[in-house]
Amino acid sequence: MTEDWLTRTAADQGRAIDAGDLCPLALTEAYLAAIKAHSAGSRIYARLTESRALDEAIAARDRARAGLRRHLLDGVALSWKDLFDTAGVATESGSAVLKGRVPDHDARLLQTMTRAGTICLGKTHQTEFAYSGLGLNPVTATPPCVNDPDAVPGGSSSGAAASVAFGLAAVAIGSDTGGSVRIPAAWNDLVGLKTTHARLTLQGVVPLAPKFDTAGPLVRSVEDCALVLSVMEHRPAPDLRGASVSGRRFLVLDGAPFDGIRDLPAQAFEAAVDALAKAGAQITRTSLPCVSDALALSAVIYTPECYAVWRDQIEAAPEVMFPPVLERFRSGQNHLASDYIAAWDALMRHRATYLAQTTGYDAVLLPTAPNMPPNAQRLMDDHAYFTTENLLTLRNTRIGNMLGLCALTLPTGVPSAGISLMCPPMADDRLLRLGAAAEAALSVR
C-alpha cells in the first residue's frame, strides 16, 4: 500500500519511483490524506498547498513514466518551514505581526527544488520569527513531540520536524540560526543538517539574524541530507559509499557542552561515543576555552542584529507577540554599537583559534541538546522556566553557529537524544560522509 511508504526515507521513495514501484501522484495524495486525518495535522501544518502539490505530482508521475526523472528526489513530497516564501500563499514566520503577508515569488531554494521535481505539500508551523529553540508558539500553534505529546518538539523548525517524524512529509526544509534545525531533529529522532553559513542562498527567506541564518533539511537518514543538499546546489550528491569511522579522529568537546547537562542526554551521548570507539574511531577529549569565550559573546552579537531587523514591525504591534519572544527581541536594544563591533572582532579571533586547535581531527563531537523536551504547559505557566530551558536548549547548538561551522545531528537510539558532529566551514560534504559512517556504527550497536 502507498501509505506504507510515508515513513520511509526519501531516498527509498526515490528509488521505488525510479523502479516503477511507487507513483508520485499516489504518494502525494497519501501524504495529503494523512495530514488531513492526523489529529495534530493543523498543529503541524500552518497551511497546505494542495493544488500545487497535486499538479507537481502529476508532472512527476508523467516524467517517471517517460523515463525523464530529473533527480532521485523527483516526485518526493516536502514540507517547508513558514519562513520560505511561497508565491500567492501566506508566509508569516509564525507571527501575527506578519499575518496576511503573501509573497509574489517562491524563495530561491523552493524554486530550485521544484525544478528538480520535488513536491511542495505546504508550510509548517514554527517558533515566532524563529526566535526560540523550544518550539512553543501560542500565537499560531505548537506541534507535538513525537516522543511525548505533552512536550514541545524543539524549534524553531518545530512543525518541520513533526511533519517528518509523524509521517506527514518525506523531507522537511527548515532554518538554523542558533540550533533551529538540529534541536527539533534531535528531539524527534531525525537527522538534521546545519549547513555552512552563506553556502545556500536565502533569497526569499524571512530573516532573523542574517549573519547566522542558514537553511537545511530535517530527514530520516544522512543519505537524504546529501540528496537534498545536492538538489539545493544543483550538483551530484556527495559520495557516501564505503564511509567508515575506523581510524577517524574525533574530538569530544568537554567543558561548556556538559555544563548542567541532564542525565539522559549525557548517558545517550556517552553510549554513542562508545559505539564509535568500538567501530574503530579514535576518541580524544578536551575542553577549548575559545568555545566558552565565544558563547559568552552570544547576547551582544545575536540580539542587536535580531532587533535591528524587526524593530519597526514588532514595535508597531507588540501586543500581538508572545511576550517571551518579544522580550528576547527587545533585549537587543540594550547593547552599545561599540560593544557589538568589539564582540565581532573577538569572535573572529575565537573562530581562528578554534580551527587551529581542531585541525587534526576529522570532526568534533558533542551532545546535540543538554536537556530533554520540556513540558509545554509548564513553559507557558512559568516564565523563568521558559527562559532557562530555552537558553540551555540552544547552548550546545549555538557553538556551531557562533564558530561558523557546519554541523549534523544524528539519533543516538535513545528517544529525543542526539549526537552532533561539527566540521569546519564549507566542509559539508566531508561532514555528511562522516555522518553516514557514524550513522552506520550507531545502527549496529
Residue 336 sits in a domain whose CATH number is 3.90.1300.10
315: in domain: no
Structural domain boundaries, residue 39: 2-233
The structure's pTM equals 0.98
**Does a structural domain hold residue 203?**
yes
Same domain, yes or no: 229 and 254: no
State which of 233, 262, 286 marks the end of a domain: 233
Closest of 403, 365, 370 to residue 284, by C-alpha: 365
Q: Do residue 325 and residue 266 come from a single domain?
A: yes
Q: What is residue 445's predicted lDDT score, i.e. its pLDDT?
A: 56
Domain tally for the chain?
2
Q: Rounded CA gap, 174 and 110, in Å?
A: 12
- Give the 3-state secondary structure of residue 299: helix
Q: Which of 158, 180, 221, 420 is catalytic?
A: 180
Q: How far apart are CA 132 and CA 90, in angstroms?
A: 22
Whether 69 and 188 map to the same domain: the answer is yes
Residue whose C-alpha is closest to residue 27's, from 76, 70, 78, 80: 76
Classify residue 314: in a domain, yes or no.
Answer: no
Q: Of 233, 266, 284, which marks where a domain is finished?
A: 233
Length of the chain: 445
Same domain? For 271 and 223 the reply is: no
38 neighbors 166 (Cβ within 8 angstroms):
yes
Told to judge if 211 belongs to the known catalytic residues of this protein, a careful annotator would answer no
Residue 375 maps to a domain = yes
Residue 123 and residue 265 in one domain: no
Query: 255 with 216, same domain?
Result: no
Same structural domain for residues 99 and 130?
Answer: yes
Q: What is the pLDDT of residue 1?
A: 83
Does a structural domain hold residue 342?
yes
Q: Is residue 431 part of a domain?
A: yes
What radius of gyration do the chain's Cα atoms show? Answer: 20
Q: Which of 81, 95, 132, 194 is catalytic?
A: 81
Q: Give the CA dihedral 433, 437, 442, 445, nearest 10 degrees.
A: 170
Same domain, 227 and 269: no
In this structure, are residues 389 and 378 in contact, taking their beta carbons and an 8 Å threshold?
no
pLDDT at 5: 98
Q: Identify whether residues 131 and 279 lie together within a single domain.
A: no
Residues 181, 89 share a domain: yes
Q: Is 180 a residue of the active site?
A: yes
What is the model's pLDDT at position 236? 96
CA–CA dist 113, 86 (Å, integer): 13
For residue 411, is it within any domain? yes
Closest CA to 267 of 133, 388, 419: 419
Same domain, 145 and 262: no
Do 346 and 212 lie in one domain? The reply is no
Q: What is the pLDDT along the chain (445 residues), one digit of tens a residue?
A: 899 999 999 999 999 999 999 999 999 999 999 999 999 999 999 999 999 999 999 999 999 999 999 999 999 999 999 999 999 999 999 999 999 999 999 999 999 999 999 999 999 999 999 999 999 999 999 999 999 999 999 999 999 999 999 999 999 999 999 999 999 999 999 999 999 999 999 999 999 999 999 999 999 999 999 999 999 999 999 999 999 999 999 999 999 999 999 999 999 999 999 999 999 999 999 999 999 999 999 999 999 999 999 999 999 999 999 999 999 999 999 999 999 999 999 999 999 999 999 999 999 999 999 999 999 999 999 999 999 999 999 999 999 999 999 999 999 999 999 999 999 999 999 999 999 999 999 996 5
Single out the catalytic residue among 93, 156, 298, 416. 156
